[in-house]
Amino acid sequence: MARRAQSIDALIAALNHLPGIGTKTAQRLAYHIIDMDEGDVAHLASTIVDAKHTVKKCRVCQNFTDEELCDICRDPTRDRSTICVVEFPKDVEALERSHGYHGLYHVLHGVISPSKGKSAEDISIDELFERLRTEDIREIILATNPTGDGETTALYLSGLLKNFDLQVSRIGYGLPVGGDLEFYDEVTISTALENRRILK
């Protein structure tokens, strides 16, 4: 079989590394990119680099932002006594879309996962406890996903939180076990929030 141009192979390989992009899709995207206008290709490449360079973590909640402090942390209308702890920024977006929550967030940027060699030090747990010392928090909602690692992380956090004078709840199971917050509709997410059970 004829050799493909090396730079096409390199592009297909790089795209193939992205999550959910298989070889066929990577190939289709690569050929599409080569057929795009020069300007559009430059734009695509620069948005990738820009996003990586300008996006940082909010000093307080660790959500992605292009400011020192994210919009939610700066919003004076939010309930500042509740923190909803999630795995990733996309989970904040899913919860915001549900319009069922008006408190603050804390983004862990991962879960404790022994199978993937991820421990408590690899995610933003220290930053969460720092907030408990400096902010006036009365409730923590643990909204990690209802997967094995999500449950492990919630259990670990609820253990550490026992020593603090605040209410700790786990997001309600309106979600099928094994699922991912990102893919649920607004009503399911709202219901799950309402049905949260108190852990302590």
Q: Is 41 in the site for a second copy (CB under 8 A)?
A: yes
Reading across the β-sheet that carries 167-170, which strands appear in turn? 103-107, 79-86, 139-142, 167-170, 197-198
- Indicate whether 77 belongs to the interface with a second copy (CB under 8 A): no
One character per residue 88-117, x = contact with a second copy (rule: CB under 8 A): xxx-xx--xx-x---------x--------
Our finding on whether 5 is near a second copy (CB under 8 A) is: yes
Binding residues for a second copy, total number by CB under 8 A:
66
- C-alpha 42/C-alpha 9 separation (Å) is 19
Q: Which residue has the tokens 């730079």?
A: 7
Residues 6+ apart with CB under 8 A from 133: none
Site string for a second copy, 7-36 (x = CB under 8 A): xx-xx-xxx-xxxxx--xx-xxxxxxxxxx
> Which stretch of DSSP H or E encloses residue 148?
helix 148-161
Nearest alpha-carbon partner for 125 in 152, 105, 107: 107
Site for a second copy, rule CB under 8 A: 1-8, 10-11, 13-15, 17-21, 24-25, 27-36, 38, 40-55, 64-67, 70-72, 75, 88-90, 92-93, 96-97, 99, 109, 182-183
